[in-house]
Amino acid sequence: MDLNSMRTILKVVALLIHEETRKQIEAALSRIEGINISLRMVGDDRSLSEVGLKELPDVVMFEVNGHREKDIADIENILKEHGDRISVFVTTKGSDVDTTRRLMRAGVKDVYPQPLQVQEMVIGVSKVLADKRAMQRSAQGKRGGLTAFMNAKGGSGATTLAVNVAYLLRRNYDASVALIDMDIQFGSAATLLDLKPRSNVMDALLEPDRLDPIFLRALMTHHSSGLEILASPGDLSSYDGISEQAVTQLMHVAVENYDFVIVDMPRVFMPWTYAILALAEPVMLVVQNDIPTIHDARLLIEHLPLKGIAIDAIEIVNNRAMSKMHSVSIDSLKEVLHKKRVHRVRNDYEAAADAQDQGLLVVEIDKRSDMTRDIESFAENLAKSHFDRKEDKSGLFKKLFGHAN
């Protein structure tokens, strides 16, 4: 598969008045991968409509002075004509609530007051890029959904959740599920399932040209539940030889052939890790509610949108949730990580240790523990939103959840 055909480029045109704004926007947006930006100074008193764009961009960023009637009317007209195809953002020095409201009503995605908070702008534009990617993906008719689990700090429980959730999706929803362990060096998903794989993910990644549904199926290890896993070598294998192209190809083949693809991510940041995260929806960022972990989670939440990962695609799971004195409350977690919602999986040391000793999963052996119940409702949420997204309400969705809502 040609990687370029899968790479989405977002064309951004910025029509600006002040040199300072140009510098700031250029610095901010050039940090986002996949953006092709053209910055044009339009001067103070030229009408925006005179600028004339030969080719329709994906995003237009306007700088307007205060609430000049003419500029606002121009923007309204542009949106009337092209609003279904372009996203418009506005930045302005000094604007009143009425003007902002009017612009938003006309369909402007966001109005950024000056001095500019560039992070907000980065998030806004990254979201348009992510939406464009998602549209292209669905236009390509992908069957399944890809959920990536990564931790904000080692040992937060990403692997535990990935494996238990993959198992539940298979068992409770009768879906075809592929669990892909991308933690090449330390992966332990197969061990948690008490499986001895004969092939692993490197067999796929080192021969990307052979990667098709038949080859992929041949590399999978089968669990008694019907869950299929593409194991990690888990032997400190080198990352050399893993290309972004091969990883992307693997994810595409998997997504085309399974209802759910669950990926356990390593704690490494390379072009191929970003490529997986950009395809994933959602990215489950697993955190414990302690201060060092939250610090790292925040770093990631600020960094990932620069690599083409939509901020809205990132969901937070507070695993090993504890209520002891030194822990961070769910409310502060939401506030620090700018999220309205956080999933919670409670801590149960004994159940987790017991499961490991028996070579079984927590959700298999301890049906009543808080940890199991939380993981079950987490998996149910994931399944629901997945089928919702696919708007498969008449078919699988109905079968699984009783009724279409």
Ligand X SMILES: Nc1ncnc2c1ncn2[C@@H]1O[C@H](COP(=O)(O)OP(=O)(O)OP(=O)(O)O)[C@@H](O)[C@H]1O
What does the buried/exposed string (b/e) look like for 248-273 if buried means 16 or more CB atoms within 10 Å of the residue's CB? bbbbbbbbbbbbbbbbbbbeeeeebb
Which does residue 63 bind out of Mg ion, ligand X, none, counting CB within 5 to 8 angstroms by kind? none
Name the residue nearer to Mg ion (CB basis): 158 or 375. 158
Name the residue nearer to ligand X (CB basis): 120 or 239. 239
Is residue 64 exposed (0-12), middle (13-18) or buried (19+ Cβ within 10 Å)?
A: buried
327 contacts 290 by C-beta, under 8 angstroms: yes
Stretch that binds Mg ion, among 13-21, 107-115, 118-126, 154-162 (CB under 5 A): 154-162
**Cα distance between residue 152 and residue 299, in whole Å:** 9
- How many residues bind Mg ion, per CB under 5 A? 2
Q: Smallest distance from the beta carbon of 286 to ligand X, in angstroms?
A: 6
**Length of the chain (residues):** 405
Stretch that binds Mg ion, among 40-48, 61-69, 158-166, 390-398 (CB under 5 A): 158-166
Q: Smallest distance from the beta carbon of 17 to ligand X, in angstroms?
A: 48
**Cα distance between residue 339 and residue 311, in whole Å:** 10
**Cα distance between residue 139 and residue 202, in whole Å:** 30
Q: Smallest distance from the beta carbon of 293 to ligand X, in angstroms?
A: 10
CA atoms within 13 A on the CB side of 391: 1
**Nearest Cα residue to 286 out of 342, 214, 206:** 342
Is residue 159 part of the contact set for Mg ion (CB under 5 A)?
yes
Q: Smallest distance from the beta carbon of 151 to Mg ion, in angstroms?
A: 6
Q: Smallest distance from the beta carbon of 196 to ligand X, in angstroms?
A: 19
Which does residue 349 bind out of ligand X, Mg ion, none, counting CB within 5 to 8 angstroms by kind? ligand X
- The residues that touch ligand X, with contacts defined as CB under 6 A, are 151, 154-160, 183, 186, 267, 286, 319-320, 345, 347-349, 352, 356, 371
Is residue 273 part of the contact set for Mg ion (CB under 5 A)?
no
Stretch that binds Mg ion, among 32-40, 159-167, 200-208, 326-334 (CB under 5 A): 159-167
Q: Smallest distance from the beta carbon of 328 to Mg ion, in angstroms?
A: 22
Footprint of Mg ion (CB under 5 A): 158-159
